[in-house]
Amino acid sequence: MAQTTRPLSPHLQIYKWQSQMVTSILHRATGIALAVGSLVILWGLVALSMGPDAWASFHAVAASPLGLVLLFAWTWALWFHFINGIRHLYQDAGAGYAISTFIKASWFSIIGSLVITLATWAYVFMGGAA
Amino acid sequence: MIRDLRNPLQRARGLGSAKDGVGHWWTQRLTAIALVVLVLWFVVLVLGLLGHDYQAVRASIARPWNALLMIAFIIAAFWHSVLGLQVVIEDYVHTRWLEVTSMIVIKLLAFAGVLAGVLAVLRIALGS
């Protein structure tokens, strides 16, 4: 390990938390979570191809309390990465760099993702499917 | 007066100091744009399948358009994941052998994942 007697540059704990840095951190965190979640989609598809028994095992895990909590978390991760990703594409085009716009767009990613997640699960439960 | 210290050949190649240019960046954006459409399709498909039994779900994925889009979704999602995880690893894993090893593991896992997913969809679509 590196010796840390010399002064180090300031890190996370010294900065005032801002919506822009929160969305940046969350974009990476949700990206990693979604990469892991894609393995669950894979499990579902492979189970579907194997037959009714394999599908029933998959369905039992997905519809269990822990499964539903994870699916809810993944739904939010998906919608956050989705909205914030579109924001990044927009910024990649060189737009939306005014600080006020940046802050507003960050909050839009956070609040928008929560709203769509709740709407998605409201549909799930009101559809009587659970 | 020299305005640019770079070798003209270096500039003509356009590969920059990282030696591989903007390929990673572009592919990450391209797969992102594809996933905007594919994720919407996927969510609508899954929500529509809630509460259906095994046969109905299987029959739905077996439809040509759904099978095609599912394969596109799998490839785009895993490709985008590898590119994203690569950036995270390059930023935070500072031990060289660990960095290289995790990239190799992730790429092989993603490749296996894509193959398994595509084979599963093909089996569902072709009924074998």
ipTM score for this prediction? 0.88
- Residues A72-84: what's their mean pLDDT? 97
Tokens coding B6: 């770079």
Rounded Cα distance between B70 and A114, Å, is 26
- CB of A129 within 8 Å of a chain B CB? The answer is yes
**What's the pLDDT at A4?**
65
Q: What is the pLDDT of residues B96-109, one digit of tens each?
A: 999 999 999 999 99
Q: How many CB atoms lie within 10 A of CB B5?
A: 6
Residue whose pair of structure tokens reads 């559809």 in the numeric block: A127
Mean of per-residue pLDDT scores for chain B: 93
Token output for A23: 């969305």
CB contact A34 to B (< 8 Å): yes
pLDDT band of B21, cuts 50, 70, 90: confident
Beta carbons of B88 and A32 less than 8 angstroms apart: yes
Query: Would you mind telling me the total number of residues written for chain A in this entry?
Result: 130
- Given a cut of 80, whether residue B19 has pLDDT beyond it is no
What pLDDT sits at residue A69? 97
Mean pLDDT of A4-11: 70
Judged by CB atoms closer than 8 Å, whether chains meet at A123 and B77 is answered as no
Give the pLDDT confidence score for residue A2 in this predicted structure: 56
- Of all residues in chain A, the one with the smallest CA distance to B46 is A124
Taking the CA of residue B117 and the nearest CA in chain A, the distance in Å comes to: 6
Instruction: For residue A95, give how far its alpha carbon lies from the nearest alpha carbon of chain B (Å).
Output: 16
pLDDT of residue B7: 83
